[in-house]
């Protein structure tokens, strides 16, 4: 019974932790610009991250190897270095964007300069990481992140146009570059690489074994599946409330308005709280992902479970990552714009980290009986193709739409 409770709590944390600033930005802007037309892109991203995370989790549980261990081992040093540098670069952009998001939300609660909140936010995150055990961190951010369901409630409360929703389940091949840019963005925001680096390293931190494979699968299917509902909720609510009024949610504050429009003050506060914790949690995950990548690639001791003195270089790595993220923010770049770049560039780097995992997950020498089954095999390869197509189209579309400016 206790085990079931533990599993459920973990999945609940995964649901609350699904959304980050990339999902917030792209889903609301997609809804505001195209109404229900892009609904079909959300499940594609959600299934994608489910497949990818399940494979990474399975590999970590069976072989005790997190993603960058696999990458170094499979691709060797030279190619591994290229993958590492590319990953660190996009990870860093993501960390900066997430810290920026935290600062923006704090500004909506209290009145103070952006840079002060960026600094305070980063320091608060560092303190939480420092003094809280690994599981506690995930639970904290994940549970409060669940208040984002207020947006799902808004979507349902406002009565979705189910006819339009249905039409939005089918892609429109003749659409504009902006439409396809959002498709890229939506899929990419769901498939952010830092999520799997963090997830697989977490699996090793928590000492997963093959007996945890069921939990892994449940996380992937239920955790991300229901988490995907949050993204849909954001898009539909935006479609209902922003699109008719021609409002462009360029600012996170506008997103929080969705809660207020239906549920007044309570809705606003719940929305903001959810955003704060979801984005804050993502900042932690992305920052750790960077530190995990470097430490695992180089062979250093790593892990929150080792305590700072037990893994000094790893600890320095994530501290430096936060500092670098802050530095990027101090250049005055708009966090929402930074988010769009981090999301779109992340998908370009994605094939490099997806492919080695796919190769290992199908390799019986390493996986034994837990090698990819028929579903994982088909979907694994299918998504590799999807990811390649998305990665190839990302930069051209980014340029063609002038960074999503239309």
Partner 1 sequence: MEDRFELVYRLLDDQVVDVDGRRCGRVDDVELIGAPGGPLELGALLTGRGAYAPRVPRRLRRLARRLFGDDVRGATVHRIPWSQVEDVGVTVRLFGRAEDLGLARDDRELQRPFERMPGG
Partner 2 sequence: MTTTVVKLSDLLGLHVEDEDGRALGRVHDVRVRRITVAEPARPPRYQIDSVLVGPRGLRVRLGWGRSREPDEVAPDALLAWDDVVAIEPDRLVVRRALKNSRRDRS
Residues 311-370 that bind partner 2 (CB under 8 A): 359-360, 362-365
When CB distances are held under 5 to 8 angstroms depending on the partner's kind, the choice from partner 1, partner 2, none that residue 120 binds is none
Q: Does 322 bind partner 1 (CB under 8 A)?
A: no
Report 44-73 residues binding partner 1 (CB under 8 A): 63-65, 69, 72-73
> Which residue number, 272 or 311, has a Cβ lying nearer to partner 1?
311
Shortest distance (Å) from residue 360 CB to partner 2: 7
Q: Is 74 in the site for partner 2 (CB under 8 A)?
A: yes
Minimum CB distance to partner 2 smaller for 10 or for 356:
356
Three-state SS annotation for the chain? CHHHHHHHHHHHHHHHCCCCHHHHHHHHHHHHHHCCCCCCHHHHHHHHHHHHHHHHHHHHHHHCCCHHHHHHHHHHHHHHHHHHHHHHHHHHHHHHHHHHHHHHHHHHHCCCCHHHHHHHHHHHHHHHHHHCCHHHHHHHHHHHHHHHHHHHHHHHHCCCCHHHHHHCCCCCCCCCHHHHHHHHHHHHHHCCHHHHHHHHHHHHHCCCCHHHHHHHHHHHHHHHHHHHHHHHHHHHHHHHHCCCCCCCCCCHHHHHHHHHHHHHHHHHHHHHHHHHHHHHHHHHHHHHHHHHHHHHHHCCCCCHHHHHHHCHHHHHHHHHHHHHHHHHHHCCCCHHHHHHHHHHHHHHHHHHHHHHHHHHHCCHHHHHHHCCCHHHHHHHHHHHHHHHHHHHHHHHHHHHCCCCCC
> Binding to partner 1 by residue 355, rule CB under 8 A?
no
Question: Is 191 or 360 the residue whose CB approaches partner 2 more closely?
Answer: 360
Which of 308, 324, 362, 395 is close enough to bind partner 1 by CB under 8 A?
308
For the CB of residue 363, give the shortest distance to partner 1 in the complex, in Å.
10
Binding partner at 65 among partner 2, partner 1, none, C-beta below 5 to 8 Å by kind: partner 1
Residues that bind partner 2 (CB under 8 A): 74, 359-360, 362-365, 371
In the complex, the residues that contact partner 1 under the rule CB under 8 A are: 63-65, 69, 72-73, 76-78, 80-81, 130-131, 298-302, 307-313, 315-316
């Amino acid at each position: 019974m206790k085990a079931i409770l533990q599993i459920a709590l973990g999945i609940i944390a995964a649901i609350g932790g699904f959304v980050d600033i990339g999902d917030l930005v792209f889903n609301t802007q997609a809804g505001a610009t195209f109404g229900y037309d892009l609904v079909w892109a959300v499940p594609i991203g959600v299934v994608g991250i489910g497949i990818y995370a399940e494979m990474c989790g399975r590999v970590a549980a069976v072989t005790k190897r997190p993603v960058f261990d696999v990458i170094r081992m499979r691709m060797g040093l030279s190619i591994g270095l290229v993958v590492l540098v590319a990953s660190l670069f996009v990870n860093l952009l993501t960390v900066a964007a997430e810290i920026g998001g935290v600062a923006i939300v704090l500004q909506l609660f209290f009145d103070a300069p952006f840079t002060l909140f960026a600094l305070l936010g980063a320091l608060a995150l560092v303190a939480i990481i420092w003094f809280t055990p690994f599981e506690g961190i995930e639970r904290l951010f994940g549970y409060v992140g669940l208040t984002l369901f207020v947006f799902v409630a808004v979507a349902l409360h406002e009565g979705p146009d189910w006819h339009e929703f249905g039409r939005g389940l089918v892609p429109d091949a003749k659409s504009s570059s902006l439409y396809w840019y959002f498709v890229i963005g939506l899929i990419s925001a769901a498939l952010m690489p830092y999520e799997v680096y963090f997830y697989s390293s977490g699996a090793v931190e928590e000492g997963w074994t093959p007996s945890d494979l069921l939990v892994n699968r449940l996380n992937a299917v239920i955790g991300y599946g229901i988490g995907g509902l949050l993204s849909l909720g954001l898009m539909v609510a935006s479609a209902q409330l922003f699109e008719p009024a021609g409002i462009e949610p360029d600012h996170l504050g506008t997103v929080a308005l969705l809660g207020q429009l239906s549920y007044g003050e309570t809705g606003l506060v719940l929305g903001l709280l959810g955003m704060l914790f979801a984005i804050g949690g993502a900042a932690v995950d992305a920052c750790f992902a960077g530190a995990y990548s470097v430490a695992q690639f180089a062979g250093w001791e790593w892990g929150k479970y080792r305590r700072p003195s037990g893994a000094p270089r790893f600890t320095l790595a994530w501290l430096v990552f936060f500092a670098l993220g802050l530095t990027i923010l101090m250049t005055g770049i708009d966090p929402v714009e930074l988010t769009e770049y981090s999301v779109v560039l992340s998908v370009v780097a994605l094939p490099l980290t997806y492919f080695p995992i796919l190769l290992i997950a199908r390799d019986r020498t390493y996986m034994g009986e837990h090698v990819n089954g028929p579903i994982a095999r088909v979907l694994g390869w299918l998504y590799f193709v999807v990811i390649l197509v998305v990665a190839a189209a990302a930069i051209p579309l980014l340029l063609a739409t002038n960074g999503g400016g239309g």
